[in-house]
Amino acid sequence: MTAAMSELDLRALHGMHDMSRREVIRLTRFTFRTGQDSRCVLGRRLFKQSLRLHFAAEDRALRPPLHRSLAHRPDLLMPLEAMEAERAALEELIDVIDELHAHPGADAGIGGLGDLTNSLVTGLTGQLKHEDAALPLIR
Element at 69 (helix H, strand E): helix 63-69
Average pLDDT over residues 69-95: 87
What's the pLDDT at 33?
60
Yes or no: say if 46 and 28 are a contact pair by the CB < 8 Å rule.
no
Yes or no: say if 22 and 128 are a contact pair by the CB < 8 Å rule.
no
What's the pLDDT at 4?
45
Considering only the C-alpha atoms of the chain, give the largest distance between any 2 of them, rounded to a whole number of Å: 59
For the chain, the C-alpha Rg in angstroms (whole number) is: 17
Average pLDDT over residues 11-22: 73
Q: Greater confidence, 75 or 25? A: 75
- pLDDT band at 139; cut points 50, 70, 90: low
Rounded distance between C-alpha atoms, residue 43 and residue 29, angstroms: 11
pTM for this model (two decimals): 0.73
What mean pLDDT is reported for the chain?
A: 76
